[in-house]
Amino acid sequence: MSPAVKKDKVKTDKAQESIAMAKSGKVKMVDFKFIDLPGTWQHVSIPANQLKDQFEEGHGFDASSIRGFAHIHESDMLLMPDAMTAVMDPVCKIPTLSIICDVAEPLTGERYKRDPRHIAQKAEAFVKSSGIADSAYFGPELEFFVFDSVSFDQNQHSGYYFVDSEEGIWNSGNMDGPNMGHRPRNKEGYFPVPPTDSLQDLRSEMVLKLIETGIECEIHHHEVATAGQGEIGMKFSTLTTMADKVMMYKYILKNVAHEHGKTVTFMPKPLYGDNGTGMHVHQSLGKAGENLFYDAKGYAKLSQTAMYYIGGLLAHSSALLALTSPSTNSYRRLVPGYEAPVNLVYSARNRSAAIRVPVCQKSPKAKRIEYRPPDATCNPYLAFSAMLMAGLDGIKRKIDPGEPHDMDLFELSKEELKGIKTVPGSLEQALNNLEADHDFLMRGDVFTKDMIETWLDYKRTKENDAIRLRPHPFEYFLYYDC
């Protein structure tokens, strides 16, 4: 039996298993989840007894109401459930089977070209067709904040935000009630024990919920910032599967926090004056069970293939960030002084470089590189695919990444920093760079011209211009009395 036939059989068996569960009465509802273009999960639910032909025929929906999808005259689309993603929903009170869906055209049955999950699947197919590797592995580290409350508004005559956390250092002087005083100071949240780390049990509950869905977790801890910054580490996986897990991760964390009267955000820079939130992405390539990034004699035990991959990431970073750090808020994080990886160089162990080479693990299978500029405002299907395509381009063109920078880049003088390229300073710059440099993404028809143009238009009009045209509250402080 060929691998493709075997995979189809497993998928068919999984579909039949899901239908059997629905008929058994153990499942009351079935929830179809899919992702919009910016990167947010959408969903629709059906009674379990209606799960009959959807695996073959799909479930219709109005794509014109989904951000970045179809126009009104081409709104009908199909959700095609992927049986391999079926799990019991870990947060629903009613027994619910959760299934991630692909999006397809109703007339032809072909995959919808703007479906981000389709792009990720095409990227994985391109790896195999290239002959370079047969697998691409990704291990993102998603950081987040847990706040106790958040309020915000923006209109014609006012604009504000207010966030609060019992753990925030600014509450040290709170006289409204008992004040226990144990709070992480700015930049000192990595990582004291409870009671200073007030969210130990909450993160543990999040981990257990993730494990319920089959997501293997390796670690959780408080992060550097005050006010509830944390991280839960997931084990790496292949590209599309890892993107699926990222979406489930965000879904579970938000809902567990909500259940406890708290709120989770993955914004890169929700607080002024303390560390921001990133999504460092570990990645490697494999072929026939071998890690292509390992060489015992190479720099930090990296192979030449890995070095070229790094070269591709660095060469295309100015454009990549339009997909991996795609919000205006991303560039409030990507500034010097807050452990942000703004310098487009690589290094073993050095967290001030855009690419770090972890050296703690000795196994050849664990050798990987860590790309540090991304954050969780990205669409993971698009971000992982874009990073992979940049790395493959580096391998194909044998792009030399230059010499490593094994010093603290934040301590260099202005004169010493002149020769070091840095990340774009704004979303607008990143979008312009993507417009000028995207051919590497279109190889193998992984990204299409329509997809890139749609992304650029959406980000420019709905986000960048929307921020650019509004007065900032701090401008009143600076200029009101001019």
Q: How many residues are recorded in the chain?
A: 482
- 36, 82, 143, 393: the catalytic one is 143
Radius of gyration of the chain (CA): 23
Distance CA 249, CA 231 (A): 11
Bridge-based pairing of strands 263-265 and 290-291 is unpaired
Query: Is there a catalytic annotation at residue 17?
Result: no
Contacts of 467 (CB under 8 A, 6+ apart): 328
AA letter at 345:
V
Angle at 104 between CA 101 and CA 9, to 5 degrees: 60
Query: Is there a catalytic annotation at residue 166?
Result: no
Strands (E), 66-203: 76-81, 87-88, 96-104, 135-147, 149-154, 159-164
Query: Is there a catalytic annotation at residue 43?
Result: no
Distance CA 346, CA 402 (A): 9
- 114, 118, 222, 280: the catalytic one is 280
Q: Which two tokens stand for residue 222?
A: 């408080």
Local structure of residue 114 (DSSP, 8 states)? T
H helical segments located in 25-62: 54-57
**15 and 55 Cβ atoms separated by less than 8 Å:** yes
Query: Is there a catalytic annotation at residue 370?
Result: yes
- 8, 62, 400, 439: the catalytic one is 62
- 36, 167, 231, 375: the catalytic one is 231
Maximum separation of any 2 CA atoms in the chain, in Å: 77
Contacts of 212 (CB under 8 A, 6+ apart): 87, 88, 90
Strands (E), 187-295: 217-222, 229-234, 237-238, 263-265, 279-287, 290-291
The neighbour count for residue 317, using CB atoms within 10 Å, is 25
- Residue where the block lists tokens 């489930």: 248
Q: Which two tokens stand for residue 61?
A: 């929906």
The neighbour count for residue 56, using CB atoms within 10 Å, is 9
Is the link from the previous residue into 195 a cis peptide, with omega within 30 of 0?
yes
Is the link from the previous residue into 191 a cis peptide, with omega within 30 of 0?
yes
Bridge-based pairing of strands 159-164 and 279-287 is unpaired
Query: Is there a catalytic annotation at residue 280?
Result: yes
Q: Kind and range of the H or E element at 138?
A: strand 135-147
Bridge-based pairing of strands 217-222 and 96-104 is unpaired
Distance CA 334, CA 324 (A): 12
**226 and 192 Cβ atoms separated by less than 8 Å:** no
- 59, 372, 405, 438: the catalytic one is 372
Catalytic residues: 62, 141, 143, 223, 231, 280, 351, 370, 372
